[in-house]
Structure 1
């Protein structure tokens, strides 16, 4: 999936979770998704709803978009696996040590990534990888 539509991305999450429940063989990327979903039991009923692709999540109503949250988690896991942007993996390792919990540390990184993406969209520029790593470093107490 290089540039999936909203529905394609959502379908991917639903299908990975279905395959896990059915005991089907998962691809490595689907395994990553399942690991992330297992950290979020509050989203599991949604992923078992065949109509979930159509759900709307309005931030102005205080709703968190579970698909966006899971997608950001997945992006971070992929980034960490290849240390991209450079320096992210060691910054995360320090943040994880500081937080004492991997999932809590991932949520800190998720906030950093969300801010970098928001700024890139606002400024109509590519995301600033160095600023992203620096934000994680700050949260880890390294900057």
Structure 2
């Protein structure tokens, strides 16, 4: 099941990118995915090879960054900011973005997000919004 979900998610990214490159109309989430892909030219060669993109495993212990996870974290952060959930994240984001720019701010914030998600997984608990926000505050 995980393998099928992974493939479906990756296919969605690939479809968005193919539509973007073909100049086709993108809707809603497709626009957001394409925008994140455009911001990551280092991933364009990966997305150009459909078979590799669908099959490649990215083991962190081997120093590999999973481009789909990375781009998904950008999308997740943007959703959090747009909904201001957890409350206060929008202001933190805007303050950091003034100093570091949007893309670098998201990378900094992703470190807190990943740490928070990892901690929640280890404790088999929901993510701790207060700890997450505290981590983000330290970035400023």
Task: Give TM-score scaled by structure 2 length.
Answer: 0.92
Structure 2 portions without partners, runs of 5+: none
Matches within 5 A, 1:33-44: 33-44=33-44
Greater relative contact order structure (CA < 8 Å, 6+ sep): 1
Pairwise CA distance, 1:121: 0.6
- Report the RMSD for the aligned CA atoms in angstroms: 1.2
Pairwise CA distance, 1:10: 1.0
Q: Distance in 2 between matches of 1:64 and 1:58?
A: 7
Number of residue pairs matched? 136
| Structure that is richer in helix per residue | 2
Task: Give TM-score scaled by structure 1 length.
Answer: 0.90
Pairwise CA distance, 1:130: 2.0
Q: Distance in 1 between matches of 2:131 and 2:138?
A: 10
1:82 corresponds in structure 2 to: 83
Q: Distance in 2 between matches of 1:96 and 1:24?
A: 31
